[in-house]
Amino acid sequence: MTKKITLNLITCRSIQQGVGMEAGKTSKKYFDACSIIEMHEDDMKELGIWQNTNVRVTSSTGSVVVKAVTTRQELVPGLAHIPMGPWANQIVSAYTYSTGEPCFKGFPIDVEPAINEPILSAVDVVKDACGLLKK
């Protein structure tokens, strides 16, 4: 049976995300910088995965495949980070508590290994969710 763990997710800017964004949303730099989930090593061990394994991240809103990595900007166990971008926004709820501001930080997600599932490109992940991706 595939293991699954529940973590608390935050989505933030990173300098690599900024550089990638300016290099172009279709660039490899942007893809490499944003289609990842930063996790604590303990959580990776618990999930039974290595670095650079593809994982499926699911929230109450949706689901997305990204690559699991560790980070220099240390997280506490139980906390995970996906850089802001189209991958993160597949799972961010649009509910705004009447402030206009969605909850980009601090919501529960389930993470499970998805070694054989591909990561879609920035444009494709949005198109797919909008039903515009020609398969």
Catalog residues that contact another protein under the rule CB under 8 A: 8, 10-15, 18-19, 21-26, 61-62, 72-76, 79, 81, 84-86, 89-90, 92-94, 96-106, 122-123, 126-127, 129-132, 134
Least distance between another protein and beta carbon 81 (Å): 7
In the bound state with another protein, the residue whose beta carbon lies nearer, of 24 and 48, is: 24
Whole-number Å distance between alpha carbons of 111 and 33: 19
Is 3 or 10 the residue whose CB approaches another protein more closely?
10
Degrees, nearest 5: CA angle 37-49-116: 80
Work out how close the CB of 2 gets to another protein at its nearest, in angstroms, rounded to a whole number.
24
* Amino acid symbol at 22: E
| CA–CA separation, 12 and 115 (whole Å) | 25
Whether the CB-CB separation of 69 and 51 falls below 8 Å is answered with yes
Residue among 2 and 26 whose Cβ is closer to another protein: 26
Supply the minimum distance, in Å, between the C-beta of residue 1 and another protein: 29
Contact between residue 132 and residue 31 where contact means Cβ atoms under 8 Å apart: no
In the complex, minimum distance from the CB of residue 86 to another protein, in angstroms, rounded to a whole number: 5
Q: Which is nearer to another protein, 53 or 77 (CB)?
A: 77
Q: Report which DSSP code applies to 57.
A: E
- SS3 call for 34: helix
